[in-house]
Structure 1
Amino acid sequence: MPLLEVSHLDIVLQTQRGPARAVRDVSFTLERGQTLGLVGESGCGKSITALALLGLLPERAQVTGSIRFAGQELVDLPEPRRRDLRGDRIGMIFQEPMTALNPVHTIGDQVAEPLRLHRGLSRRAAREQAVALLDRVGIPDARRRVDAYPHQFSGGQRQRITIAMALACGPDLLIADEPTTALDVTVQQQILALVRDLVAERGMALLLISHDLGVVAQNVQRLLVMYGGSVVESGPTAEVFAHRIHPYTLGLFGARPRLGGARGARLATVPGTVPDLADLPPGCPFAGRCRFAIPDCAVTAPPPVEVGPGHRARCIRLDAVAADRQAATA
């Protein structure tokens, strides 16, 4: 039985412009010890999908489908039972540590809090474990700095503190939502290496959310490419990178900066703009920006098509895309 099984997940948010289908028929599984990446532009549904796993969606959000964690259905699970899971069996590293950390509490108290709530440890025992966790994630002189406040740390150190909080109770599933946003490249690599080591060390499953293809390539075994709330392409990371086929995935790869490019050359872009969720067509969400689109694309949601070993894409024009790629490389 998979640790996490998401089936036909749909999420409708209430906006000023009316209902918006933020997540559309998303399905995936995640086993213990596996790593899975969600990649796509801002607003494509990555973070909303993760928040649904934790039961932290905005008020009046409507959720249909199934989210099963260790055999337990999470959709419509009462909030007290949700709280028992959050911070205990499911940990999350949030995107921005300065909003995830409380500025008026010491880092020691914040790292110790889940240990006291979920493990029933005394204040002293929880503090000792907090010091050990801070030391493990690389906070220098952790015992002396355990009583410091978030503003007294650098951005990279604050991210390490949020990792310690997420790992405090030894979760089965770790969700990392853009864990290296706003960090310089060197610190990014340090944080990602730390997450990799801790996941391997503790045998956790990892759900990594990112818009950075390089980050995903180095850190996950399987990949979901999302656009407009839908998974448009999925499969083993190496397979998707080597044989990408959905027009949106091709656009993402085409827009990457390349070493050795001509000085001053403009980067390729995906034409058009990301539509508002309330304006998405009932068919393929990418139809309005896709050069391969035909009228049928905007009418009916395309089913997933097997295009390689474990590799699927949602597109009714795959033959045309494949022929175009073949002609371009001939």
Structure 2
Amino acid sequence: MPMLEVRSLQVNLPGPRGVAPALRGIDFGLERGQTVGLIGESGCGKSMTALALMGLMPEGASVSGSIRFDGQELLGLDDRAMCALRGRRIGMVFQEPMTALNPLHTVGAQVAEPLRRHLGMGRAQARAEALRLLERVHLPQPAQRLDAYPHQLSGGQRQRVMIAAALACGPDLLIADEPTTALDVTIQREILDLIAELVAESGMALLLISHDLGVMAQNVDRVFVMYGGTIVESGPTASVFERLAHPYSRGLFNARPRLGGGRGQKLVTIPGRVPELVDLPPGCPFIDRCHRALDLCREPPPAFAVGPDHAARCFNMEPVT
């Protein structure tokens, strides 16, 4: 049995124009020690999936389906039960540490909080462990940083603090939501290498969320391509990148920047834009932007096998090249 099993997950959000489907029947699983990635443009449902797993839904959201973690159904759990899991068995590195960290509390206090709450450590013991964790994530001058506030640290340093807090209790699953957003390229590589090192060291599972194809290619075993609240292609990372069966997956790949391009050369783009959730078509969510769309695509496509453990929801897949 997978450690994490998500089935038919749907999330609807209320809005001024009516109910908007943020997630439309998400299915995936995650084994212990496995690394998987969710990739897609902003607004495709990646972060909403992470929030659903953590039980941190926006006010008024309705959620249906199933999220089972080690055999326990998470949907429907009360706040007390979810709080016992968050930080203890499921850790999360949020997209923007400056807003996720509390500006009124020191770095040391925020890393120590889950240790005191979940493991019952005293103040002195938790502070000592917080120092060890900050050393573990390679924060410069960790002893001096314990009493610093988030605004006194750089973006990369704040992200290391977030990782230390997420790993404090030795979770079984780490969710990293765009952990390198707004960081320069060198710091991005350091943060991703750090996460990979810590995951390998502890044997935890990793769910990595990103819009960067390069990040996925180098950091996860399996990838799920999302668009319009739906997983449109999934499979082993090498297989997905080799085949790119769904037109959206191919579009993402072709739109990536390339080294050696001529000066002033324009990037390839996917026509159109991601529609508002309330405007998503009833069939394939990508139909209005797809160069291979058929009349048949007005119906929701099932998942068709592309290769071993590799599937895509498309009636007219990209040809093998």
**TM-based fold match above 0.5:** yes
Partner of 1:131: 131
**Partners of 1:197 and 1:41 in 2: CA distance:** 27
**Partners of 2:284 and 2:168 in 1: CA distance:** 41
Matched, 1:16 2:6: no
CA shift, 1:139, in A, is 1.3
Matched, 1:308 2:299: no
Q: What secondary structure, in the 3-state scheme, does the structure 1 residue paired with 2:161 have?
A: helix
CA shift, 1:295, in A, is 2.4
**Partners of 2:145 and 2:56 in 1: CA distance:** 31
**Partners of 2:157 and 2:176 in 1: CA distance:** 16
**Partners of 1:286 and 1:200 in 2: CA distance:** 36
Partner of 1:211: 211
Runs of at least 4 residues off by over 6 Å: none
Provide, for residues 259-296 of structure 1, a one-character-per-residue CA deviation record: whole Å limited to 9, x for no partner: 12222111110001111000111110000111111222
Matched, 1:270 2:302: no
Provide, for residues 97-119 of structure 1, a one-character-per-residue CA deviation record: whole Å limited to 9, x for no partner: 10011111000000000000000
CA shift, 1:79, in A, is 1.2
**Partners of 1:131 and 1:54 in 2: CA distance:** 26
Partner of 2:198: 198
2:302 partner letter:
P
**Partners of 2:137 and 2:157 in 1: CA distance:** 9
1:106 partner letter:
T
Matched, 1:80 2:80: yes
Identity of aligned residues (%): 65
Q: Structure 1 length normalisation: TM-score?
A: 0.96
Matched, 1:317 2:316: yes
> What residue ranges of structure 1 are gaps of 5+ in the alignment?
none
CA shift, 1:316, in A, is 1.0
1:82 partner letter:
M
Q: Structure 2 length normalisation: TM-score?
A: 0.99
Q: What secondary structure, in the 3-state scheme, does the structure 1 residue paired with 2:235 have?
A: strand
**Partners of 1:294 and 1:242 in 2: CA distance:** 24
Q: What secondary structure, in the 3-state scheme, does the structure 2 residue paired with 1:209 have?
A: strand
Provide, for residues 193-229 of structure 1, a one-character-per-residue CA deviation record: whole Å limited to 9, x for no partner: 0000000001000000000000111000000000000
Q: What secondary structure, in the 3-state scheme, does the structure 2 residue paired with 1:32 have?
A: coil
2:148 partner letter:
A
**Partners of 2:159 and 2:145 in 1: CA distance:** 15
**Partners of 1:15 and 1:237 in 2: CA distance:** 36
**Partners of 1:177 and 1:273 in 2: CA distance:** 22
Structural mapping, 1:1-330, within 5 Å:
1-298=1-298, 300-318=299-317, 321-322=318-319
> What residue ranges of structure 2 are gaps of 5+ in the alignment?
none
1:178 partner letter:
E
2:284 partner letter:
C
Q: What secondary structure, in the 3-state scheme, does the structure 2 residue paired with 1:10 have?
A: strand
1:297 partner letter:
C
